[in-house]
Homo-oligomer: A and B are copies of this chain.
Amino acid sequence: MTPQAQRDILKKHGLKVTAQRLAILDYLITHETHPTAEMIHQDLPMISLATIYNTLERLVAAEIIIVIDSLSDGKRHFDYYGQPHYHIVNTQTNAIIDAENFDVAPLLAAARQASGLNITGFHIEVYGVNPEDAR
C-alpha cells in the first residue's frame, strides 16, 4: 500500500493527516503482530504514548482497526481491519492467526433475527491448542 493510500484512509474517515497518525497506521498495516499501545511505542518512541493511545482510539472509532481484548496478558491489542476476518488464538502462546475462510453472513442474519438490531460489526475468536499437547 502506498503512502498516499494510507493518507486516503485517514481522509476518507474525516481524520486530519498528521505524521504521527500516518506512522501508527503504517505500523499497524505492515505488522501482523496485533500489537499493544506499548509495543507500538517501543518501535515508534518519538511519538508520545498519549498520542498513541489517542490515535488508536480514533482509528477504532473509525473502524479502521479493531480491538482484541481477550488475550491473557491483560493488555489491549490492535489489529488493522482491511479485510473482515476472524481470529484463531493459540491459548498456549497467545499467537493470533487472522483467518477468512468462513462466511459470516448466516451468523449476522441470525443475530439480527434474535435481537432485532441493525448489525454493525462482529468479532469472532476461536481458541485452540497445539494438537501435540494432549487435552
Contacts and interface: CB of A to CB of B under 8 A. Distances in A.
A105 to B, nearest CB: 11
Given A67-B70, A90-B117, A131-B116, A122 B126 contact: yes
19 contacts: A67-B70, A69-B69, A69-B70, A70-B70, A88-B114, A97-B114, A99-B115, A102-B107, A102-B111, A107-B107, A107-B126, A111-B126, A117-B130, A118-B135, A119-B128, A120-B128, A120-B135, A122-B125, A123-B127
Interface of A: 67, 69-70, 86, 88, 90-91, 97, 99, 101-102, 106-108, 110-131, 135
Nearest to A106: B102
B124 A124 contact: yes
A35 B125 CA distance: 21
A120 B110 contact: no
Contacts of A130: 117-118
Given A110-B99, A110-B101, A115 B127 contact: no
Nearest to A127: B121
A113 B135 CA distance: 18
